[in-house]
Chain A
Amino acid sequence: MVASSLKLQELIQEIREAKTQAQEREVIQKECAHIRASFRDGDPLHSHRQLAKLLYAHMLGYPAHFGQMECLKLIASPRFTDKRVGYLGAMLLLDERQDAHLLITNSIKNDLSQGIEAVQGLALCTLSTMGSAEMCRDLAPEVEKLLLQPSAYVRKKAVLTAVHMIRKVPELSDIFLPPCAQLLHERHHGILLGTVTLITELCERSPAALKHFRKVVPQLVHTLRTLVMTGCSTEHSVSGVSDPFLQVQILRLLRILGRNHEESSETMNDLLAQVATNTDASRNAGSAVLFETVLTIMDIRSAAGLRVLAVNILGRFLLNSDRNIRYVALTSLLKLVQSDHSAVQRHRPTVVECLREPDASLSRRALELSLALVNSSNVRTMTQELQGFLESCPPDLRADCASGILLAAERFAPTKRWHIDTILRVLTTAGTYVRDDAVANLIQLIGGAQELHAYSVRRLYSALAEDISQQPLVQVAAWCIGEYGDLLLEGTCEETEPLQVEEDVVLALLERVLQSHMSLPATRGYALTALMKLSTRLHGDNNRICQVMSIYGSCQDVELQQRAVEYNALFRKYDHLRAAVLEKMPLVERGGPQVNEAAKESKEVAQLSEAAPVPTETQVRGPGYPWGKSMVQLPYPALTLLPSLQASKLLDLLDLLDGPSENAQHPPPLDPTPGDTLIHLLDLPCTPLPSAPIPNLKVFEREGLQLTLSFVRPPGTPTLLLITVTATNTSGGDVTHFICQVAVPKSFQLQLQAPSGDTVPAQGGLPMTQLLRILNPNKAPLRLKLRLTYDHFGQSVQEIFEVNNLPVETWQ
């Protein structure tokens, strides 16, 4: 047995003398070793002291689990000194997640029934702090008995323990409900406090209990009245208010009982009026009672006059010099703002004042309340105030404030221009804190307000010229400049000051954004695309833009590189398509997160400018494959507007076309459908291209499903032919699982690219398109064999036919 064991104070003293963390750890570890030895060897006289030291070490964060068994031993000891420390240890070291905790159930049971008040108190205290569901179930009968004990001290603790038990095991409500009514007649305030808490817990859990307890409302009213009226019993009074805690609890219970219940509310009305007028609010305790009274008045069916009184009390509190009172006033008003909106509106100016508080807790509450008070009539002034707040508020409130302003603007914007201005200001002030969809929202908003295009682009340009660091702002500005660059340079806008902008300056600005190290990759993507769009909007030659594109063609960022390469290709090979591809975007409908995605996608899509898909596939050619074909995978974004593009599969070789075959189906000759769109993979309504010199060819029709081919021979490459297969459906039923396979004669090389989808909806819905690239080095006459498989009207259909009547221009 260790001879010298430190007293608790001595240990504490030693720990305090340790100069460093490491020293402290040393001291404690040494002591814990002693303690462990002492537990092992058994030292009944001093084990309470050892445990006390261990608990101290535990508080500082050192491991103490080896003391758990010792707690059990001490609890079982007959000495009060031991029990006291043992129970404290149980509360600190044991909890329901360890099985060991069940072992004290028996000890607690013994202690509960053995009659010494102090010991019973300890047991009840421990049970109510760490008692698990099993323990509660086991010990419920004991606790129930204690509710009838003569000692008020024990009864008081038993009642509160019952609350804990009900929380853990709701079925125990049945046991503890009956004694409540009787307990309410007690004089002892501690018991009353516990009983009111117990009844509150029961009522919150079960509507049946709530109904049952409505009958005690008169008793509660009586008790509260006594408290308020009788001068302070000095024992319980806090600065002149008798037992404010009990008053507050009773008021809460009355609130629950009177809610939505005419009769109970009637009974309480007078009393509440009395409390509201008689309580002295110059002290903290009185204020606490008054707040609860106000909340209760507002929550039950009270008389109108009383409600007015209540809200006025809150208004007075808002002007109080004590910050705590103001805080609680703001919190209470927040609780009321939904149900009594107009009453709270009256205090709006004061609430807005509180925004300017240096105290972060107060300004946070004021912010929440202010945002809840915005409506269509005060939106302009409120937004002004909130914008001011946004500029100076602490960083952790900025995100909430920004999104709050944007939300309010969306709901109550008086004009579109104001809305755009507001969002612009938020982006400039707190751009980094806005949510991701703010950019998309603003773009959609601007896009939809045709009359404001010029205005928007000018304002955004000015904002961008000043500061290119706020990413959301830069993104929106870049997009706008790209789309409406022509409006920026030409034309005047009445709403802003005349702005003389040179083309070069605009280009330089976008280039600066591109090169800036502050720009996110997404932002640079926006800028690149904007530059590209400007190539059609501006009048100068496009050398500068071309240069940028070729530089970025070797950019490290894969996304930018891809875009640049594609745009480059647009310049070089598909220049005639450039104007159409880079046209102004149509408005996208907004309808929710899904459609927002579509908006984002169509934006992306327009920016990716699919006009000249850069094939990344491999070409299959050579003698081994008589019909050269292979499928291509292109990384198209998944659209919500269209069925997702599938990666196409490798085809089986179709054995066909050795020579002119007689059994091929001849599609009925038809007028070529005019105004076909060319590269139609993404079904954005585009204006028809300058009419292709080669007429389109309808090759197939069955039950409303038609297949048409349109041809393009790009000027630079005489051997290349681009065919777009378009499938349209005028019937009443959808065509699904549509697959089109193509075979060409030996000397040709064919590449099939991914179709736009595999469904052709009925009634002239979105056509499906597929692009074919055919290389014809020998300039041989072109023939095609097509194989279609699809489902239509519940049947699967397979069609194979040849196309022989292709126009001469396609292969000469």
Chain B
Amino acid sequence: MIKAILIFNNHGKPRLSKFYQPYSEDTQQQIIRETFHLVSKRDENVCNFLEGGLLIGGSDNKLIYRHYATLYFVFCVDSSESELGILDLIQRWFFHSLEHVGNSVVTVFPLWLSQIFEEEGVLSMHKVFVETLDKCFENVCELDLIFHVDKVHNILAEMVMGGMVLETNMNEIVTQIDAQNKLEKSETFIFQSPRQDR
């Protein structure tokens, strides 16, 4: 089971947090801080798995994380999840989030890159992608996610539900999201107010 999903930046500022077990607000913030503390100590060339901290940890739990440019994506899972599987999941979620939330030019980039990576293999493309982003766009991917965090939530909700993996077929997810967005747009239309981003 997935206990929590966190995205935060290189300074520990939360960009998305979703907990699948009830924790008080204070505990949630503590968990974010502690996770950031653990994950930020890691080098670049080590594996993507960490034993969990004290709050959300315990002998059964571990952190699976990926670091993209200025963002950490962290899944806190227990031993019933496949570690490599989750790693893949993070990858795809990240790419497809970018694809669908961004307004800026860079979002075209990941779509092309993600297709390549799926053919060539995760690790090599991951490196290439991150390095390219770093060189050309600096904080861009983070900004996209920041400004459209609710959309990222929506995408996540189509992939993981109740702490369990729901759907991994990206096309399905994309279709659903598009349908929902259309529904939203049609409603604002009815109310005759100018189309607004929330």
State the A residues within 8 Å of B (CB).
Answer: 7-9, 12, 16, 45, 48-49, 52, 55-56, 58-61, 63, 79-81, 84-85, 88, 91-92, 95-97, 117-118, 121, 124-125, 128-130, 153, 156-157, 160-161, 163-164, 189-190, 193-194, 197, 235-236, 238-239, 243-246, 248, 252, 282-285, 287-288, 291-292, 322-328, 331, 358-362, 364
Contacts and interface: CB of A to CB of B under 8 A. Distances in A.
A81 B16 CA distance: 20
Interface string B144-175: 00110110011001000111111111011000
Contacts of A361: 46-47, 49-51
Interface of B: 13-18, 20, 22, 24-25, 29, 43, 45-51, 80, 82-85, 87-89, 92, 118-123, 146-147, 149-150, 153-154, 157, 161-169, 171-172, 176, 179-180, 183-184, 187-188, 191, 193, 196-198
B82 A7 contact: no
Contacts of A96: 22
19 contacts: A49-B196, A59-B149, A84-B180, A88-B153, A92-B18, A118-B179, A118-B180, A125-B161, A128-B162, A243-B169, A244-B85, A245-B165, A248-B82, A283-B121, A288-B85, A324-B83, A361-B46, A361-B47, A362-B46
Contacts of B147: 8-9, 12
B162 A160 contact: yes
B122 A239 contact: yes
Contacts of B92: 238
Contacts of A117: 179
A52 B198 contact: yes
A238 B89 CA distance: 10
Contacts of A284: 84, 87-88, 121-123
Nearest to B173: A190
Question: Which 6 pairs show the lowest CB-CB distances between chains A and B?
Answer: A128-B162, A288-B84, A323-B47, A359-B46, A95-B22, A164-B162
What secondary structure prevails in chain A residues at the interface with B? helix
A292 B192 CA distance: 54
Contact of B162 (A45, A55, A163, A190): A163
B118 A157 contact: no
Contacts of A85: 150, 198
A88 B83 CA distance: 27
B76 to A, nearest CB: 15
A326 B20 CA distance: 29
Residue from A55, A60, A358, A364 with most neighbouring chain B CB atoms (10 Å): A60
A4 B141 CA distance: 29
Contacts of A157: 161, 166
Nearest to B63: A361
Nearest to B29: A61
A682 B163 CA distance: 62
A128 B51 CA distance: 27
Contacts of B121: 239, 282-284
Nearest to B41: A360
A531 B69 CA distance: 63
Residue from B22, B154, B187 with most neighbouring chain A CB atoms (10 Å): B22
A476 to B, nearest CB: 32
Contacts of A362: 46-47
